[in-house]
């Protein structure tokens, strides 16, 4: 039987992500103890109905594949057993298939025969977890369930691979770059894989009890009693190769026991590198920073976008929104974004904020606005909108008496890991900025889905209240909090979001710039996480030339400390080797501890990779102005995207920014700008010094001084 059109495994929308998320988020271990998340983890619906109404000009033979037990009804008539194939007669028909699976999301794939493809499974089918079809005393069926478009993944379409067995990740063998025999008697060997990596350790010609101690740093792998991750293999007979069952993060492994050699299977999410973002410039350090950032992103972009590959290996909404933005300038992997957004949201009822964190709920909303801006995918907005509404209902039901965002006793108010004294109690101005943006996102999505609820009004009201309470025209800054007295502390957090989210007026932005962002008396931010927004806000204000040395100093600082991927936290004041000339062979003690544990810090953390975003968004200077970079078919009066390159002091730079249509290519130096637009994209507008010009689908343009 030949396929005449593609058919996909389909399931209840969001369920595969929720199910896979439970596997994903529960894999974390800490010194051999499992370490699951502390928030509600939902489940897939165990019995799902699939439906298709069709009119056939001639009979069609279909083959039915299901992940689970199933039944099949033609025009309401249940057929015997579990038919593997069926001839649907010509004419108008309704196909109803119910699939039941307690262990994994019930899924269906139908392949039509050569007669046609009308019944192939895909987004023309409908699905329900509660069809409410009951049969009366006379055998008559009545139903009133809610039917939605099913979930599916473009790559998950092989009838012979059940979706519960479908692997998103691939592996490739890699060898260590070196090893050191530490102790002959106990057969202790330290293997160095040359850089931070993730995958399965492979033991060669091993036997007996073999202990593996993992280290993101050499110090960690050597510290058998305190390293964060370890494994024990117990091989009763000698095995030529034995692959450990769990994928781990490491650069070094200390192996203790009988094994002739140790290698690994590097595990990764495949991407089409020819369609990826790229950045190159006249500054070698910046090129290295971009590459290590891109590698950090590739390591942390897996089934979902995780925070760090050693720890927590969880999906965190505040981390993920940054990964998404970096991804729009790196791999443009919209599937990974959608998977992560779905997984983070889970199901109703809402019993806590996303990841239990107030701010993380807001980032979740805002990430959907970003996704729409970069992809123009209204189908996904329609899918998520009902879950956005119930999460917003929850949010609005927990405001303060004044109608402001506040951490309730069971909420975690995160903001950032800060090194300076800062309370997180009461009503934080920072949280209002995020909530205003969330309400604006809700309004955008309400408009797209035809919901008449006026979230825009709520956003405006909250904006007014926030300005009235927190804006201090004498301090030229948004103040920190209402506790309930006004806490007049000034931090960068609310102020940089006011710039970024367009919540401050032009004049206010300039005031904030002088009195907060560039004010050395305002405490410095020491996580790449919040430096992301800090530096983006500065670039937003056109200060690329001030930001460039910051990037080189901060991320370059990590490289000088031996980083091969970027870290969860980096405080340059802890550098004790500034006087040394050489880069240490591996990051050292002062940079490894966190959470009260000597190796608690994650040395490969997605939020560490922000230069990937900053360089694409503010130096190459590309962003969509219409959702999804517009479309050549659509004759908009306004341009669909812009390239506003800013060398920020570099001699030259060139690079690619991925879009739904392929890459926008940019080359720029002090005298010439060249921009190429992929075929199909909407009309772009290009800025170079005081010139501007249009570039259309499939064209390229060169501007010269």
Q: What DSSP designation does 660 have?
A: T
Closest CB 353 distance from a copy of itself, rounded Å: 10
Closer of 230 and 695 to a copy of itself (Cβ): 230
User: Is residue 158 helix, strand or coil?
Assistant: coil
Distance between CA atoms of residues 355 and 359, nearest Å: 10
Is the CB of residue 222 less than 8 Å from the CB of residue 215?
yes
- Quick one: DSSP state of residue 583? P
Taking the least distance from each CB to a copy of itself, the nearer of 37 and 456 is 37
Rounded to 5 degrees, φ, ψ at 442 are -60, -40
Instruction: Work out how close the CB of 476 gets to a copy of itself at its nearest, in angstroms, rounded to a whole number.
Output: 30
Beta carbon nearer to a copy of itself, 138 or 184: 138
- DSSP track, 327-357: HHTTT--HHHHHHHHHHHH--SSP-SSGGGB
Tell me whether residue 573 is exposed, middle or buried, using C-beta atoms within 10 angstroms of its C-beta: 0 to 12, 13 to 18, 19 or more.
exposed
Output 71 or 243, the one with its CB closest to a copy of itself: 71
Which residues, other chains included, contact 77 with Cβ-Cβ below 8 Å and sequence gap of 6+? Answer: none
CB of 519 to a copy of itself, least distance (A): 25
Min separation Cβ 438 and a copy of itself, Å: 21
Outline where 180-250 has alpha helix (H): 218-222
Q: Concatenate the DSSP letters of all residues of 20-57 into one string.
A: HHHHHHT--EETTEE---SS------SEEEEEEEEEES
Q: How far is the CB of 214 from a copy of itself (least distance, A)?
A: 15
Residues in a beta bridge with 233: 210
| Phi, psi angle pair for 77, to nearest 5° | -100, 115
User: What is the DSSP secondary structure assignment for residue 248, as one 8-state letter?
Assistant: E
Task: List residues near a copy of itself by CB under 8 A.
Answer: 19, 22-23, 26, 30-47, 49, 69-72, 78-82, 98, 100, 102-103, 129-140, 142-145, 348-349, 351-352, 356, 409-412, 417, 594-597, 600
Q: How far is the CB of 107 from a copy of itself (least distance, A)?
A: 15
Residue placing its CB nearer to a copy of itself in the complex, 453 or 700: 453
Q: Cβ of residue 514: shortest distance to a copy of itself, in angstroms?
A: 31
- Give whichever of 73 and 510 is closer to a copy of itself, judged by the CB atom: 73
**48 vs 334, which CB is nearer to a copy of itself?**
48
Taking a C-beta distance cutoff of 8 angstroms, is the pair 6, 120 a contact?
A: yes
Minimum Å distance from CB 133 to a copy of itself?
5
Measured from the CB atom, the residue of 101 and 263 that comes closer to a copy of itself is 101
Smallest gap from residue 305 Cβ to a copy of itself (A): 20
Written as six digits, the tokens of 38 are 């502390």
Q: Which two tokens stand for residue 650?
A: 């570099």
Q: How many CA atoms lie within 13 A of 515 on its CB side?
A: 18
Q: How many CB atoms lie within 10 A of CB 138?
A: 5
Q: Which is nearer to a copy of itself, 149 or 597 (CB)?
A: 597
């Amino acid at each position: 039987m030949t396929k005449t059109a593609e058919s996909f495994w389909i399931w209840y929308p969001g369920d595969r992500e929720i199910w896979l998320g439970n596997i994903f988020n529960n894999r974390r271990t800490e010194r051999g103890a499992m370490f699951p998340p502390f928030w509600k983890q939902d489940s897939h619906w165990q019995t799902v109905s699939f439906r298709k109404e069709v009119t056939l000009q001639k009979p069609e033979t279909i083959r039915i594949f299901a992940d689970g037990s199933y039944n099949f009804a033609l025009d309401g008539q249940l057929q015997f057993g579990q038919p593997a194939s069926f001839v649907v007669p010509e004419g108008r028909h309704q196909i109803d298939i119910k699939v039941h699976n307690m262990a994994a999301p019930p899924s269906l794939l139908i392949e039509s025969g050569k007669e046609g493809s009308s019944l192939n499974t895909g987004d023309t089918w409908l699905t329900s977890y509660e069809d409410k079809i009951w049969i009366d005393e006379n055998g008559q069926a009545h139903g009133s369930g809610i039917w939605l478009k099913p979930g599916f993944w473009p790559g998950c379409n092989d009838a012979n691979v059940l979706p519960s067995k479908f692997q998103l990740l691939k592996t490739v063998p890699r060898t260590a770059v070196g090893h050191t025999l530490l102790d002959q008697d106990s057969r202790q060997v330290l293997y160095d894989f040359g850089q931070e990596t993730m995958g399965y350790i492979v033991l060669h010609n091993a036997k007996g009890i073999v202990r593996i101690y993992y280290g993101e740093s050499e110090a960690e792998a050597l510290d058998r009693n305190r390293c964060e991750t370890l494994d024990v293999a117990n091989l009763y007979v000698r095995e030529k190769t034995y692959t450990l069952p769990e994928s781990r993060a490491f650069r070094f492994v200390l192996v203790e026991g009988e094994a002739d050699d140790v290698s690994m299977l590097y595990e990764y999410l495949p991407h089409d590198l020819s369609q990826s973002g790229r950045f190159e410039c006249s500054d070698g350090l910046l090129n290295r920073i971009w590459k290590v950032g891109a590698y950090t992103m590739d390591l942390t972009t897996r089934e979902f976008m995780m925070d760090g590959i050693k720890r927590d290996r969880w999906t965190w909404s505040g981390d993920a929104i940054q990964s998404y933005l970096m991804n729009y300038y790196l791999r443009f992997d919209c599937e990974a974004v959608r998977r992560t957004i779905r997984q983070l949201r889970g199901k109703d009822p809402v019993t806590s904020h996303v990841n239990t964190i107030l701010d993380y709920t807001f980032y979740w909303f805002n990430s959907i606005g970003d996704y729409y801006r970069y992809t123009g995918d209204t189908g996904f907005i329609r899918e998520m909108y009902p879950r956005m509404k119930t999460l917003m209902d929850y949010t609005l039901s927990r405001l303060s008496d004044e109608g402001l965002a506040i951490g309730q006793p069971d909420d975690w108010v995160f903001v950032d890991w800060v090194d300076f004294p800062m309370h997180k109690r009461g009503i934080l101005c920072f949280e209002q900025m995020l909530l205003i943006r969330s309400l604006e996102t809700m309004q955008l999505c309400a408009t797209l889905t035809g919901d008449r609820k006026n979230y825009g009004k709520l956003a405006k009201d909250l904006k007014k209240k926030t300005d009235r309470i927190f804006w201090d025209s004498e301090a030229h800054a948004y103040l920190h909090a209402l506790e309930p007295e006004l806490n007049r502390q000034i931090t960068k957090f609310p102020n940089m979001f006011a710039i970024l989210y367009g919540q401050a007026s032009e004049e206010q932005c300039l005031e904030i710039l002088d009195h907060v962002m560039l004010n050395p008396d305002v405490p410095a931010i020491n996580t790449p996480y919040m430096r992301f927004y800090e530096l983006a806000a500065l670039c937003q204000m056109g200060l690329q030339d001030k930001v460039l040395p910051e990037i080189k100093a901060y991320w370059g600082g990590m490289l000088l400390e031996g980083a091969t991927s970027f870290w969860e936290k980096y405080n340059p004041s802890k550098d004790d080797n500034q006087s040394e000339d050489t880069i240490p062979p591996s990051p050292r003690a002062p940079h490894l501890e966190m959470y009260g544990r000597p190796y608690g810090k994650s040395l490969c953390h997605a939020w560490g990779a922000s230069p990937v975003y900053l360089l694409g968004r503010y130096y190459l200077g590309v962003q969509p102005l219409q959702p999804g970079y517009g479309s050549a078919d659509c004759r908009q009066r306004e341009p669909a995207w812009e390239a506003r390159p800013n060398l920020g002091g570099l001699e030259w730079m060139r690079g690619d920014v991925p879009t739904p249509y392929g890459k926008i290519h940019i080359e720029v130096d002090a005298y010439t700008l060249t921009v190429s637009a992929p075929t199909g994209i909407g009309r772009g507008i290009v800025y170079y010094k005081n010139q501007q010009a249009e570039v259309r689908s499939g064209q390229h343009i060169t501007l010269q001084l």
